[in-house]
Structure 1
Amino acid sequence: MASSRLKRVEESATIKVANIANKLRQEGTDVISFSLGEPDFDTPKNICDAAADAMYRGETHYTPSAGIPQLRDAIAEKLRTENGLDVNGSDVLVTPGAKQAIFEIMMTVLDDGDEAILFDPAWVSYNSAIRFAGADTVWVPTDTHDNFKPLDLEEYITDKTRIIVVNTPGNPTGAVYDRDTLKNIADIAIDHDVLVLSDEIYEKIIYDREHISLGSMEGMQDRTITVNGFSKAYAMTGWRLGYVCARPDIFQGMLKIQSHSVSSATSFVQYGGLEALQGPQEPVTEMVNKFKARRDVLVKGLNDIGIKCQTPGGAFYAFADVSEFGNGDEISEKLLVDAHVAVTPGSAFGDSGRDFIRISYAASKERIKEGLSRIESALT
């Protein structure tokens, strides 16, 4: 009885692996999970206190569908000062998570038969959202030896292309695109009159690199739909709070979808988001420093085993080449069964990932070291 629309969409591979790992844990197995993209830190106390205070003073009712004005204004201020975007609070839509924003974007800008461009490999839910909207995904290969930069992007643009999806820092690779790479994407988007979705959810989890917002580049203000949120930078995954800014016609389309579906983000959660932006930022810096230390342990350990792995410039993922030992699907299964280490097969993120596995280092250094030891024992 499932609709044809639903049949276009596959189960999330990351969630599938996490569910298997959880089942093994329930059976008493000590599974080290490197599969989910979730910081293992608690949400900072000041954010929790702000949400609780809002709840207890009665902020538990419907809010405007686009979000409470205070949060929209604070987000706009952040985007102006940190990202160089010329936006006001009225340009900002607060959503129940960045994933909801991406879904709303695809449903707003894509029609049946349209094309959307993804850089292979890409986060699993982009393709699902594109296909759910009735459009076709066009996969552009990337240079797996050079920061996963897109190759020959312009060759894949057709008269059906409506949007290019850019994610930097990126999932699953951790790649951070430099200004030249982004300038090339922007020039192509302008020349061919297509939109760009700039997913910047990992912007603050970046190591010795510069984050550049595509929407700040010349000619890209009205062409870029910027998505961000609180899940990664502030360890607020379960809070489900994201945001998007877009030009008025796209904004109104997204707002229509939101008002008829999820209505709005949770009322008191929005006050937690307000505190996240306006409160102390030291917890973010501390978390990023710990992620960097974990990254260094993991990448060195993988390369010592013989698993080729570039050093990611951001996010908290390593995209590791396991072709010396098998393909990504085989190795993922072997590690889960033989070593009780859960990773995500690279094929979940596109055809170019078939020889890779994604490892999330959102785990303590002790667990990472134990995981590396188990991986080495299983493969060597």
Structure 2
Amino acid sequence: MSARETAARETAAPGAGAHRTAARGTEAGGTGPRPSPDPGPRPLLNRRLAEFGTTIFAEMSALAVRTGAINLGQGFPDTDGPEEVREAAVRALRDGRGNQYPPGPGIPELRTAVAEHQLARYALTYDPDTEVLITAGATEAIAAALLALVEPGDEVIALEPYYDSYAACVAMAGGTRVPVTLRPRDGAYHLDLDELRDAVTDRTRLILLNTPHNPTGTVLTRAELAAVAELAVERDLLVVTDEVYEHLVYDGEHTPLASFPGMRERTVTISSAGKTFSFTGWKVGWVTATPELVTAVRSAKQFLTYVSAGPFQYAVAEALRLPDTYFEGLRADLRRKRDLLSAGLTAAGFEVYRPAGTYFVTTDIRPLGESDGFAFCRALPERCGVVAVPNAVFYDHRDQGAPFVRFAFCKKDDVLHEAADRLRRLAA
């Protein structure tokens, strides 16, 4: 049975509530049918989340700590972002700005800064009062969007491999995830537009799009995005776009889907400060969309965190107004780190898919005589003192991702040099 069929079957499965009601009625002397024998204690975890255990990031980070290995698995920088942005957060704390609950939609200063950013960068106009929502990072924005817009039985198309929270959020909303697989070819991963079109059915509610794409590093081209937009308009689909790596593009350019004809009114655009400004612990994200879509997302978001990161919101408002030289320098520095690690991985014997964006490099381990990414990553710390992540965790079709492994390059140069030296032991 396919993952899609399994997910649909699970969604349609009867809940435990009916069994409990029948049993309660019989115990009280009711005349209804006797309950079937008790199958045993009900599991504590909601059945929609039964397939999701501890994340691979937690497992691999714990393995790095236990073995003392260099952690290139989880995507967080090992240095803080701009000093002036950090000092802006300190000023806000000292001045008492954001130390109590900020406004539910986010502080006006940040909502205005987000609207200005979208206008200056992409010529997209948003009203900061009705079309911008501040969230606890992009992860909450994705969760709130899916909980707000997806109902049980709806299908959600996502590009596979996908960031692992996507599957969990679709499950929590009661939807059915439908993966469309990006496949490697000619040193990069590519979207098959015919496969995307074929995946749309009468039950499709929305497309969950991520570009620049984690974990493959693919940046969808303007032509690919135009085809996605045409399909969404033709089939009247909503689109949720995760654009957190929008400023980390090294080859090509980032183009928001909302900028295409017919897409502004059907697109929920999500981004965040963590990747762009190297303050991932602050968890400041945002949504831009029409008033109707923002209202829907806010209706779910207000019952998740309600508000978060008060003083940091003021700092991010200043960060978004940094000069172009900051963003250009960030890209140049990470491009150099990408090339440094890619060269080291190639020398170690991996086949390397050099990313056009993000800060992850995907590799194929088959040239090393390996084929099981899970086993390879769990053994790698002992073999050469480096931690990576198996891409198979990001697939419904695990066999498609089995031989691929992801490394993060958002680290100090000396860390990357040391990791490359250690990985060369594999070639020996």
Q: Secondary structure at the match of 2:274?
A: coil
Greater alpha carbon shift after TM alignment, 129-138 vs 304-313: 304-313
* Counterpart pick for 1:259 among 302, 309, 319: 302
Partner SS state of residue 197, structure 1: strand
2:266 alignment partner in structure 1: 223
8 Å contact from structure 1 (residues 98, 242) kept in 2: yes
CA distance, structure 1, for counterparts of residue 378 and residue 63 of structure 2: 11
| Aligned match of 1:149 | 190
Distance in 2 (CA, whole Å) between partners of 1:246 and 1:9 is: 30
Q: Which runs of 5+ in 2 are unaligned?
A: 1-43
Secondary structure of 1:222's partner?
helix
Of stretches 352-361 and 275-284 in structure 1, the one that deviates more from structure 2 is 275-284
SS at match of 2:269: strand
Alpha-carbon contact 1:77-1:88 (below 8 Å) kept:
no
> Aligned to 2:123, which of 75, 84, 99?
84
1:326 aligns with 2:366: no
Mapped to 2, the partners of 1:134 and 1:11 lie a distance apart of 20
Query: Does the Cα contact within 8 Å between 2:344 and 2:423 map onto a contact in 1?
Result: no
Identity of aligned residues (%): 30
The answer for the alignment partner of 2:416 in structure 1 is 368
8 Å Cα contact 1:127/1:137 also seen in 2: yes
Following TM superposition, by how much is the alpha carbon of 1:300 offset from its aligned partner in structure 2, in angstroms? 2.1
Distance 1:8 1:254, change over 3 A: farther
2:12 counterpart residue number: none
Q: 8 Å contact 2:145–2:300 — kept in the other structure?
A: no
- Counterpart of 2:276 in 1: which secondary structure? coil
Aligned residue for 2:213, secondary structure, equals coil
SS in 2 for 1:260: coil
Q: Mean alpha-carbon deviation: is it higher for 71-80 or for 257-266?
A: 257-266
Whether the 8 Å contact between 1:176 and 1:211 is mirrored in structure 2 is: yes
Q: Give TM-score, length-normalised by structure 1.
A: 0.94
2:134 to 94, 99, 106: 94
Alignment of 1:298-309 (within 5 A): 298-309=341-352
Following superposition, the deviation at residue 295 of structure 1 comes to 0.9
- Aligned partner letter, 1:122: Y
Aligned residues between the structures: 375
Deviations, residues 143-170 of structure 1 (Å, cap 9, x unaligned): 3115322222111111111111211111
Q: Deviations over 1:61-98 (max 9, x none)?
A: 21110001121111111112212323110200001111
Q: Distance in 1 between matches of 2:53 and 2:204?
A: 23
C-alpha separation in 2, matches of 1:271 and 1:86? 22
SS at structure 2 position matched to 1:227: strand
8 Å contact kept, 2:354–2:362: no
Q: Which amino acid aligns with 2:137?
A: G
For 1:209 and 1:363, how far apart are their aligned partners in 2? 23
Separation in 1 of the partners of 2:96 and 2:420?
A: 48
Are the aligned partners of 1:149 and 1:181 in contact in 2 as well (CA < 8 Å)?
no
2:235 alignment partner in structure 1 = 192
> Does the CA contact (< 8 Å) of 2:344 and 2:424 recur in 1?
no
SS in 2 for 1:148: strand
Instruction: Report the equivalent of 1:335.
Output: 380
1:356 aligns with 2:404: yes
- Describe the SS at the equivalent of 2:133: strand
Q: Which residue is 2:247 aligned to?
A: 204
* Structure 1 CA distance for aligned equivalents of residues 417 and 364 of structure 2: 19
Which has the greater radius of gyration?
Answer: 2
> In the alignment, does 2:73 pair up with 1:35?
yes
Please give the alpha-carbon distance, in whole angstroms, between the structure 2 residues aligned to 1:261 and 1:137. 22
1:183 paired to 2:222:
no
3-state SS of 2:302 partner:
helix
Deviations 1:293-346 (A, max 9, x none): 111122222223331112211111001111222121222122122212100001
Letter in 1 for 2:125: D
Residue from 49, 54, 74 that aligns with 2:113:
74
Following superposition, the deviation at residue 8 of structure 1 comes to 4.4
- Are positions 1:345 and 2:390 aligned together? yes
SS of the residue 2:185 aligns to? coil
